[in-house]
Structure 1
Amino acid sequence: MKRVYNIDVLRGIVMIIMALDHVRDMLHVTAITQQPTDLNTTTPVLFFTRWITHLCAPTFVFLSGVSAWLSMKRTNDVRASRLFLLKRGLWLILLEFTLVGFGLWFDVHFTLFIFNVIGAIGVGFMVLALLIARSPKTIAILGLCILFLHNLAPLVPGDDHSLFKQLLMPLFSPAAYPLGHGRLFIIGYPPIPWLGIMLLGFAGGRLFELETITAPSCKPQASSNTPLRGSRKQRSLFLRIGIAAIGLFILLRVINVYGDPVRWAQQKNGLFTVLSFINVTKYPPSLQFSLLFLGIMFLIAAAIANVKNKWTELVCVYGKVPLFYFVLHWYLLHPLVFAMVLLQGFKSSEMVFGFNFGRPKSGSGLPLWAIYVVWIAIVTAMYPLCKWYGRYKERNKGKMWVRLL
């Protein structure tokens, strides 16, 4: 299947931003003890360092739905598409609890199993496989119902300890379950809210085919800084969708009644009041969170619609191999945690794994400016690896395992 250049660029942007959050989470001096969006303890720079990365997960999940649509449309084989989505979904769930899980924790005892974004996408693909024969309109309605109504789940009557609530709520909100022998299973990305975003991506997949170009490579055309002909309609549509989504977010946020479990409030000054206004809930992704960041995603999509230049060419390299990038960057990042700890004078016996990522209980970490330096270094180091794998993937696209990674 030929790739849609705009999708690769958009995905590449969020993959680059994503690495910033992971570097901060593992290396920042206050990462273990402080929530960067806690307005009682944060700074504006730290807040926005975390806040901007909220764009990544909803964009990645939405574009996974778009890619599923484009794949089905071009093969024109519902049965084959269903089988591929089931295989890919199972593969992603397996990957979540093996290569990704080990890269995240570096714990040979596997004491923590966390169901995160890769697992949520895997479940989404499997559900989408069951719905794939339905019309895009039906899937869009289902996605919108989930998006707008899943915040009502906590209001379902019943005792919190009832079997019904214990089985239902982990589908809608984070949960943790002890597995015995010191092991813990955590649902960080409850599948239902993220499924709604994926279904909307699938239903909206045709928008990314509208007057767009497909490109097997990431090489720019000669007129590198000028939008290509035929992009105006797509850009206008993306712009209107983005503005509408953000406008609805602002309306709901001003009303301050529904769409996010945490209401905004006046703070110690105007800047922190603005931070409170945009400080929406990601776990699970609230309606207001989804509207805001999907709206921003569409604005970015409008800005890059069929634009080809040296910068989009560079970003495209990352966007063509997102899963490869996601898995591998943990294995570049986590050894830096150990190097930091040892260089700061701690002993290996003081390393605490699990939620501490191998850092001591206190005293280790880098200042925020150094986090940005390490982030740029990680992204730079990933470039030749992604470029190599992108070429390998293009030469071997008929192999199933290559399609899955």
Structure 2
Amino acid sequence: MQPSQDLTRQRIRSIDLLRGIIMIIMALDHVRDFFHQPAMITDPLNLDTTTPPIFFTRVITHFCAPVFVFLSGLSAYLVGLRKTKAELGHFLLKRGIWLIFVEIVIMSFVLTFNPNYNFILLGVIWAIGWSMIILGLLVRGSYALVLIVGFIIFVGHNILDYVQLPDGKVSFVFWRTLLTSPGTLLPVGGNHFFLVGYAILPWAAIMFLGYAMGKLYAKEFDPIRRRKILWQIGLGLITLFLLLRLPNLYGDPNKWETQSTTIYSVLSFFRVTKYPVSLQYACMTLGPALIFLAVSENWNNRFTRFATVYGSVPFFYYVVHFFLIHLVCMAVFFATGHSMAEAVDPNSLFVFRPVKFGFPLWIVYLFWMGIVLALYLPCKWYSDYKRRNRYWWLSYL
């Protein structure tokens, strides 16, 4: 009996390890938004203005959102092992609604520090919330239903890149919000706006496939077979990415082109589309993630224990890290001689982060490491608290 229990802990540790690593990397992109001087005025993936270090700093964080969403689906399956279909569906529905509330009410303020809520960003938490609501409905059916729906949307949604709806129609807004939005700005009243940053269904498909992958982590599943399957699917996704990307066949509206130098040609090749998440983008990021799950199952060292702390409390980390980044930004804003009169910049969405504020990239990396390290003890405390207690509300935090 004891070996089975140890293996279960190892499996969970590998999932938390991967989640922890992508949470650490994720903070880099968010720190860059607040502290890198050109972050508010240039696109780090624009080949005409970027540099390889800036491009890499953005692209490495491309792994974060799809892996985070995928592991959310996998975790939903593991939660379902202790519940009936109806109980799991009800739980996912409530948690999805809660996450949408968090995105609109809590994260909007944490990001902007604007109590008037003039700008509300509907980002990854919004997408996860809606994905959980839809998954909560699908799990009442069958495992096969979740897998088939997820696969069809995952592979086929880029067909819609070739379909155009008339601009300004209700159907156009609905279509973009669900499937094709690179960022839809929705005015509400005269001075309030919603920005739909994450089209719902392509991200939901990633969660559905994560849920389907959860079957590999059932207690009775052979670990050797599990690792082999993870390797095969991971390599398959990477191969599919290369087969689609090299000839610019299908799966990403942003075609790569040969540039004036080899390094910029490589940058063009990996400049895949995140908004909305494309098939090529998802294959490029999820393939290596699955291979990592396969090889890391038995890892146990100082770094894995460090990273697992963050991965064991992803929601707590996500909310608190944004709040801490913005607080530090505010402190640095005043420490560098800025006044309260400069706190609100009409060209910036974030209070205490004017467009002309910021530092070189190497200083951004120092801020990133400091933020991550500062969060270790709070995350460890909360992880230990969750392990010691079984209050119902902890499953929502």
Q: CA deviation at 1:159?
A: 1.9
SS at 1:207's partner residue? helix
Retained in 2: the 8 A contact 1:210–1:234? no
Residue 44 (structure 2) pairs with residue 10 (structure 1): no
Residue 395 (structure 2) pairs with residue 403 (structure 1): yes
2:371 paired residue number: 378
2:326 paired residue number: 334
Retained in 2: the 8 A contact 1:10–1:301? yes
Change over 3 Å in CA distance of 1:286–1:210 after alignment to 2: farther
- 1:25-50 per-residue CA deviation (whole Å, 9 max, x = no partner) reads 11101111111111111111111111
Whichever residue aligns with residue 146 of structure 2, its letter is I
CA distance in 1, matches of 2:167, 2:71: 35
- Correspondence for 2:120 among 109, 113, 119: 113
1:283 paired residue number: 275
Retained in 2: the 8 A contact 1:147–1:197? yes
Whichever residue aligns with residue 183 of structure 1, its letter is H
Retained in 1: the 8 A contact 2:329–2:353? no
SS at 1:31's partner residue? helix
CA distance in 1, matches of 2:184, 2:352: 24
1:259 paired residue number: 251
CA distance in 1, matches of 2:220, 2:86: 28
Q: CA deviation at 1:337?
A: 1.4
CA distance in 2, matches of 1:81, 1:188: 28
Change over 3 Å in CA distance of 1:309–1:239 after alignment to 2: same
Residue 72 (structure 2) pairs with residue 64 (structure 1): yes
CA distance in 2, matches of 1:390, 1:179: 39
CA distance in 2, matches of 1:244, 1:128: 25
Contiguous gaps of at least 5 residues in structure 2 = none
2:295 paired residue number: 303
1:215 paired residue number: none
SS at 2:37's partner residue? coil
CA distance in 1, matches of 2:74, 2:268: 32
Whichever residue aligns with residue 252 of structure 2, its letter is D
Retained in 1: the 8 A contact 2:42–2:49? yes
Retained in 2: the 8 A contact 1:105–1:353? no
TM-score by length of 1: 0.91
Retained in 2: the 8 A contact 1:62–1:200? yes
1:250 paired residue number: 242
Retained in 1: the 8 A contact 2:23–2:311? yes
Retained in 2: the 8 A contact 1:194–1:285? yes
Retained in 1: the 8 A contact 2:73–2:209? yes
Residue 192 (structure 2) pairs with residue 183 (structure 1): yes
Q: CA deviation at 1:299?
A: 2.1
Retained in 1: the 8 A contact 2:34–2:353? no
1:31 paired residue number: 39
Change over 3 Å in CA distance of 1:293–1:249 after alignment to 2: same
Residue 259 (structure 2) pairs with residue 237 (structure 1): no
2:86 paired residue number: 79
- Correspondence for 1:194 among 198, 203, 206: 203
CA distance in 1, matches of 2:352, 2:55: 22
Dislocated runs of 4+, deviation >6 Å: none
CA distance in 2, matches of 1:8, 1:170: 31
1:46 paired residue number: 54
Whichever residue aligns with residue 273 of structure 1, its letter is S
2:100 paired residue number: 93
Whichever residue aligns with residue 107 of structure 1, its letter is N
Change over 3 Å in CA distance of 1:211–1:295 after alignment to 2: farther
TM-score by length of 2: 0.93
1:227 paired residue number: none
2:28 paired residue number: 20
2:156 paired residue number: 149
Change over 3 Å in CA distance of 1:53–1:211 after alignment to 2: farther
Q: CA deviation at 1:87?
A: 0.9
- Correspondence for 2:309 among 306, 314, 317: 317
Contiguous gaps of at least 5 residues in structure 1 = 213-229
Deviates further, 360-369 or 152-161 = 152-161
Q: CA deviation at 1:234?
A: 2.9
Whichever residue aligns with residue 140 of structure 2, its letter is A
Change over 3 Å in CA distance of 1:377–1:153 after alignment to 2: same
CA distance in 1, matches of 2:363, 2:164: 48
Residue 169 (structure 2) pairs with residue 166 (structure 1): no
CA distance in 2, matches of 1:123, 1:32: 28
- Correspondence for 2:213 among 198, 204, 207: 204
Deviates further, 238-247 or 298-307 = 298-307
* Matched-pair identity in %: 42
Residue 285 (structure 2) pairs with residue 293 (structure 1): yes
- 1:224-274 per-residue CA deviation (whole Å, 9 max, x = no partner) reads xxxxxx754333322221111011001101121321111000111011101
CA distance in 2, matches of 1:85, 1:283: 25
Change over 3 Å in CA distance of 1:163–1:43 after alignment to 2: same
Retained in 1: the 8 A contact 2:93–2:136? yes
Retained in 2: the 8 A contact 1:39–1:272? yes
CA distance in 1, matches of 2:177, 2:161: 11
1:222 paired residue number: none
- Correspondence for 1:364 among 354, 357, 363: 357
SS at 1:307's partner residue? coil
